[in-house]
Amino acid sequence: MGAYILRRLLLMIPTIVGIMAISFLVIQFAPGGPVEQVIAQLSGQGDGADQRLSGGGDMLNQQFGGDDTSAKYRGAQGLDPELIAKLEKQFGFDKPPLTRFLDMMWNYIRFDFGESFFRNTSVIDLIVEKMPVSISLGVWILIISYAISIPLGIKKAVEDGSPFDVWTSGVIVIGYAVPSFLFGILLIVLFAGGSFFDWFPLRGLVSDNFAELSWWQKILDYFWHLALPLTALLLSAFATTTLLTKNSFIDEIKKQYVVTARAKGLGERQVLYGHVFRNAMLIVIAGIPGAFISAFFTGSLLIENIFSLDGLGRLGYLAVVNRDYPIVFATLYIFSLMGLVVSLVSDLIYTWIDPRIDFERRDV
């Protein structure tokens, strides 16, 4: 197992470098970069501009003449070439792309993610600041979905083909087909001051007077704000886990060792939980890390924006819109690295649950 773990760790290096290289290459051809955005803002202010730029928050006061230049940036005609050069240096675009990529990767290896272009603070501080919101969504979705889906999946497997199995399958299929963000919008319209009721808050993880509340009021306030986002996210997570549990149990129930156990006179409950459960839950339990990552990062992106929750998903979205590349690349690097680590952890959980699995005998 040690050799397998070492191989997987070594394979992470070219994988993460490839992900970052492709993303960096795409960014080079993406229009509307940070320099262009600042140029657009400056040009819109007429002959004079007073613009706050990212490097320490200094105010640059520049007067622009009417001479046309052959600048490579759209909208840069008529601006002072020295200002353009200063902007390029400030955002790091005065260096060749390869040099910038190598510098970025060297810094990221040391977990030095630099500072945001437009927020005047370090990227790692921003990520740490936004992480509690995303963790709250990810953890609670994981706990609630598994707490409901596993018992329901087992019952559906035992009563396969029954009326209960049929109507619950219909509900699950509908839940899986409805996108979480669309369901979130419906919840806002119905229960968050839309066209009907105003029972739940629309933005934030806690109320403005959260610090003044007692401990039990803080708990109620916290879950009051999470109720609608969790409900919207739970729909798809609940459907996936339930069907996975049901299909896994059905596959195990049909195997020969179950027939043998029943032939020996064991009760149905003893067969189900004494023999089938461990084998059937192998794939479900091993998928917990991946399910958490999915809910933690990808699943909450649209929900955080819809419900104005200031988490990692919203941070990444705003960074892409504003071309805040340090945040974009840092979050991509962290998410990709965590995804690769979680994939390895999932494999290790397989071996922990079922020692018969040996990845060292398989070709990687």
Give the separation between CA 239 and CA 333, rounded to whole angstroms.
Answer: 30
Compute φ and ψ for 115, nearest 5 degrees.
Answer: -115, 155
Give the separation between CA 299 and CA 309, rounded to whole angstroms.
Answer: 13
- What are 31-52's pLDDT values in tens digits? 777 777 777 776 654 333 333 3
Q: Which residues are within 8 A (CB) of 50 and not within 5 positions of it... i.e. 6 or more apart?
A: 59, 60, 61
The strand ranges marked E within the chain are 48-52, 59-63
* Residue 362 DSSP one-character state: S
Residue 60 near residue 87 (C-beta atoms within 8 A): no
Into which CATH architecture does domain 123-361 fall?
Orthogonal Bundle (1.10)
Residue recorded with tokens 């690349």: 329
In the chain, where does the domain assigned CATH 1.10.3720.10 lie? 123-361
Sequence length of the chain is 364
Among 288, 279, 290, smallest CA distance to 338 is for 290
Tell me the CA distances in angstroms from 130 to 143, 201, 312, 328, one per residue in order. Answer: 21, 19, 5, 14
Residue 214: half-sphere exposure toward Cβ, Cα within 13 Å:
2
pTM beyond 0.85: no
- What are 202-261's pLDDT values in tens digits? 777 888 888 888 889 888 988 898 888 888 888 777 777 888 888 888 888 888 888 888
